[in-house]
Structures are given as C-alpha cells and as structure tokens.
Amino acid sequence: MDFFRSQRQARRQTLIFLALFTLIVTLVVVLCAAVVGFSCLIFAPEKMTVYARNTGIVVLLIIIGASIVRSTELHSGGGAVIARHLGGEPLPLSRLDHPYFQRFRNVAQEMAIASRTPMPTLYWLPNEPAINAFVAGFTTADAVLAVTRGTLERLSRDELQGVIAHEFSHLLNGDMRLNTQVASWLFGVYAVYTYGRSILSVTALGSNRDDGFIRPGNWPLAIFFGGALTVIGYIGKLGGRLLQAAISRQRETLADASAVQFTRQTLGLAGALKKIYYGSSYLQSPQSDTYSHFFLGDAIETSQLFATHPPLVERIRALDPKFDPDDNPLPAVDAHLDVDALDKALPLYFNADSAASFSGRETEFTMRDGLALLFANLLDGDNEAVRRRQLDDIEAAWGHDVSYQTHIIEPDIDSQKMYLRLTRLHLMLAQLHTLSAVQQDTLRRTLRTLIAANKNISLLEVVVAFLVARYLRDMASPADAQVAGLLRLTDCAPEMTLLQNLVVNHAKQTAAQVTLDYFDDSGKTTTANAHMVERALDRLNRLTLDEKKNLFQALYDACGRPSPEQQEMLSLLAGCLHTPPLESMVHYPGSELTLAPE
C-alpha cells in the first residue's frame, strides 16, 4: 500500500488524460466544422471556409466555456458541489437521528483513525436505493465521503466498513483529486451533446408554436445542426467514457486491495460487492454519467467496453476465490441487526484509565467541543498566569462557553496518550466547515495569540496551529492547494535538518514538552522560533512527491525505532505537507477506538 507511488501514478495519469482529452476535443471540433463545411459545399460553396471555421470556433468555445464553468464551480466548493449535483445531503450532526447514520459516522471515524487522515465531510444520497459510495474533492480539507441510502440500509457493519475503507484508499492514493479534475474537463465535451439535444427539443417545441420563436423556414436547418451536434457530441461522450474507463479500472483494483489492508479482512468488502452483483449499483441521478468514475461500483448501465470498473465477478473472486456467481447465498437484509446505538459514538474526551469511556459530560461533538479540544492543546501547563491570560483571550474571542469548556477538559487532555490527543484533533478538523469566514479569521488570530502568549512553545503547538491554518486555507481554495512542487531535498537541507532535530528530540521527552528553546542561546523561547518552523514547513511543502517520501523516510529512520509519540508527530507533519503517511504508519491504534457491536 505505497500511497506515494499511487499518487505519483495518479499525477502521471492526469497528464495522459489531458493529452487524450485534447485529442477528443480536437476530433469533436473538426467533425462539427467538417459537417458544416460539407453542407456549405452543396448549398453555398463560396461560404464554406468561413462557416466551417466559425462553427469550429463556436464548438470549441462551448467546450472550453462549459469546462471552465464546471471547473470554477468545483474549485470553489470542492467535493460538496459534486455531492449536491448527485442529490446528496450532509449527514445530520445530531446523534438523535437514525442509527444507520450513527453507524456510518462511527465507521468513517474509525477509518480516519486507521489512515491517519482528517475526517472527510459525510453526505448521503437519500433518493438512491442502490448500493454505492464515492469520495470527492481536491484535498482532505474539502473531501466529501458519500454513500447511498441503499448502502446504509442493506449492508452489515463489516460490509459498510469495507466500502468506506475502499473510499479512504481513493483519498490517500490521489484518485480523488484526479477524478475531480477529470469531471470538470469531461463536462465540456458532454456539453456539446447536451447543446445539440437542446436545439432539437427547442425545434420540436417551436414547430408547434406560431409565435415567431423559430421561423418555419429555419426548422430544417435547426434540426440538421442540432442533430449533427447531438451525434458528434455523443461520439465525444463515448470517447470521454473510454477515458474514464481506462483511468478508473486499475485504480479500483488497487483500492480494493488497500481496503483489505485497512480492515485486515476480506469478507466485508466481498460481501458488499456480492450484494451489488445480485442487486444493483446504478444511480437514478441524471448527473451519474458525468461522475460515474467516482463510485465504488458502476453508476450507470453500460457495456463492459465503457465500464469504469473491472467486472464484479473478478473483483469478488480476488477477495473470495470460492465465489460462484450461480449460487446466491445472500441472506435477507439484516443490517438492522448490527447498527450502532444512537448514544454509541467515539468519545470526545478520553480518560487516562479507560480510553473508550465517556467522561460523564455530554457526548455530542459540537463546534464548541472541537474548539475547546484544539485550544486545550495550546495552554501553558507550567505558568498559571500565562494560562489564565490565554483563557481570557479565548473568552474574548469565542465567549464564556468555549473558554470554560477548554478549562474543563484541559486536565483530561494532559493525561491522554499522544495518539488519542491527535486522533481527536484529526477528527475535529471536519467541524471547521461549520465556521463562517469571519469565525475562521478569528480562529487564526486566536491560535497566533495563544502561541505568542506561551513562554514555552512546543513543536506540538506549532505543528497543530500550522495544520489548522493550512486546513482553513485549503477549505477556502481547495483547487489551489499545493500538493507537491519542484524542489529537491538538496534544496531544503537546512529545513530538513531542523525538522529532524525536533522529531528526534521526542525520544528524550514527551511530545508535548519538546520545546524550541535550543534555537535561542539565551534559553528563552521566542515566537521567532515558531515562525522558523512554519517557514520550514512551507518550503518543504514545495518538494516533489517522491522527495516528500524520502523526507519522511529519513525522519522515520533518524528516530531509530520511532516511539508512538514520534509516529503521531510524523503523521501530523504529513498532514501539514499534503503527504500521505508512510505505509508503516497506517494501522489501527487499538481496539479501544472501534465501536463494532460485540
């Protein structure tokens, strides 16, 4: 499960797809110009060149314009736009809802913990009874994980876990970003077909009206032109489907294998695919054609030549070699037997003695709790005066409730194991989507204020603040996030040495206490030290993807046998650099963070 290699392949496929897409666009434009030119050759030879050229320009503008419109829409809204196009709705945040929702939320959190990635925003498709799922977006900050109503109602917990693990692998493999880019480009080619159909529809409507909408003498020309655009647009549409199929099939096989490594078993995903085989994965949404390459299973009915997924029998037999498609052993739908209780959720607060028990306070994971959890990690634990001033700053910016909640949970935060602390931080990032633009600015200022007030700035504090700030930037402009650059490690030797010294220091002290003091000869920590680390992270984010892998391998090796605290710090740093975790770091931290029914 080498996520770096998978992302490198995805980036290479993007370039290949762009080249082939350019060929399809050229073919569509040339065919449209040729049809008009041939018509002019018969009826008006002297105008053939002008009309053919103008037609080609118009068709090209239609394709480019539609692609730009869809691309702009996706760039501004990320994965949520795609979910809404398909009829999706955000999963209700309240726990006083259907147990299917609670089970979906719990399993998604378990996968986020296993993959060391921030929690995506959860959606469901209430009007889709088939079994299917997808993940969409440019980065983890705008990622959306969506499942159909049939997935929630018809799958057991193990099967749902297999499906969600499959989708998380798409997120880590770089498929999600590739699929989102492909969708915006294909929309332009599909627009030619849609425009031709519209002309035919308007012509048919106008032929029954006597209001001058379409002059009767122009009906044959409109029918001819609309029919030509429809046929040629359909040819382009078939070409787009071939590209979707060519790119998607191999990625789906890889995602199936990655899902098995996530869940440590094959029966869950195999069971879900069997239910699709004996049932259906086809969607009713008219937009499912454009987004068919996103889904777990084929979203539209088509021939195998244009199918975006390998044959289901092949996928099932790779997981269950004894599978016989002529035998239908599926029991009646029994997903209700293993749904999670409405009050059973991964705890926001972890006690030192029993990691999975609730602290007795409320179990609802609200924005107030998320902010308090974040701020509690940044309080000065050594100087009470500084700590009091930090709490006052929090109250001034966010009110008494958040400040009091921060004060209440701080002792629990300090006593937690490192991976429990950072697990909750990863999961709370999804809650930042509920903040307004003004609140997001306030959060940035609050983080800077808390760090500046601390007289003992730690690496943990700097990295957490950097991760949240990066997440907020990616939320605002997901398509502009710099996932990789052109720098080599030799260009970033000082930054690499700086980071390596800080991470190795975790072997000597607990992670929260590794300070930046050693930069200052006076022994006092200044905010300039924090800025030094932030600048180093910004520069390291411009490394190529391969060099980022080399960086984290070097950090990992420098630690010898990394402690759990060091591994968690490496996972935080990976999030800061838009980098998937090393394969050796992807695992379940323990059974205390799963809520499967006993």
Residues forming the active site: 167
Residue 436 Cα distances to 250, 386, 439, 441, 583, angstroms: 40, 29, 5, 9, 36
What is the DSSP secondary-structure string of 551-565?
HHHHHHHHTSS--HH
Residue 303, C-beta contacts closer than 8 angstroms, at least 6 positions apart:
none
- What six digits make up the tokens of 276? 């699709």
- What six digits make up the tokens of 403? 């400040």
Using CA atoms of 346, 152, 318, 595 in order, give the dihedral in degrees to the nearest 10. 20
Nearest to 502 by CA among 570, 560, 436: 570
DSSP character at residue 286? G
Nearest to 121 by CA among 163, 78, 162: 78
Residue 87 Cα distances to 125, 127, 291, angstroms: 6, 7, 12
| CA Rg value for the chain | 27
- What six digits make up the tokens of 484? 């990789």
Q: How many CA atoms lie within 13 A of 545 on its CB side?
A: 21
- Angle, helices 157-173 vs 3-43, to 10°: value is 80
Q: Which amino acid is at 383?
A: N
CB 110 within 8 A of CB 161: yes
* Rounded (5°) CA angle 135-107-167: 25
Map tokens 């290479």 to a residue.
12
DSSP character at residue 510? -
